[in-house]
Amino acid sequence: MANIQVNQVYHPKQPLRTVQKQEPSKTSFADQLKQTLQSEVSFSHHAKVRLEQHGISLSDSQLQKLNDGVTTAREKGSKESLMLMKDLAFVVSVKNNKVITAMKQEGMENQIVTNIDSALIL
């Protein structure tokens, strides 16, 4: 190391490097986290009970269709949506990304679905 004295100017042998600023990412961490959390639909306790009562188990492709439907509904500005898939029906809170209830369509006779602002056929 160089021997430096008080009141003496120090001249380094190597030039100083300037730090390159990295471009800020276009999406913030909070936005990325929110997008990740919203990528998969979850099921309320009531919906889980209904699925069990009716003996309904969803395949990976059905879950993917449901997730895609929620994404489509969100893009269109929906908040609460009825999603129909072959013989199944789901009421989904789009803003919370959560299935509120699930039922078989055959059991929907004389049933009224309220508090929805959209319906999708998957």
Q: How many CA atoms lie within 13 A of 114 on its CB side?
A: 3
Predicted confidence pLDDT, tens digits, the chain (122 residues): 556 667 777 666 776 676 666 665 566 777 766 665 556 899 999 999 999 998 989 999 999 999 999 999 999 999 999 999 988 999 999 999 999 999 888 877 788 888 999 999 99
Domain borders along the chain are 41-121
Q: What per-residue confidence (pLDDT) applies to 105?
A: 82
The helix or strand, by DSSP H or E, that contains position 38, with its residue range, turns out to be: none
Instruction: Tell me the three state secondary structure of residue 104.
Output: strand
Q: What per-residue confidence (pLDDT) applies to 66?
A: 94
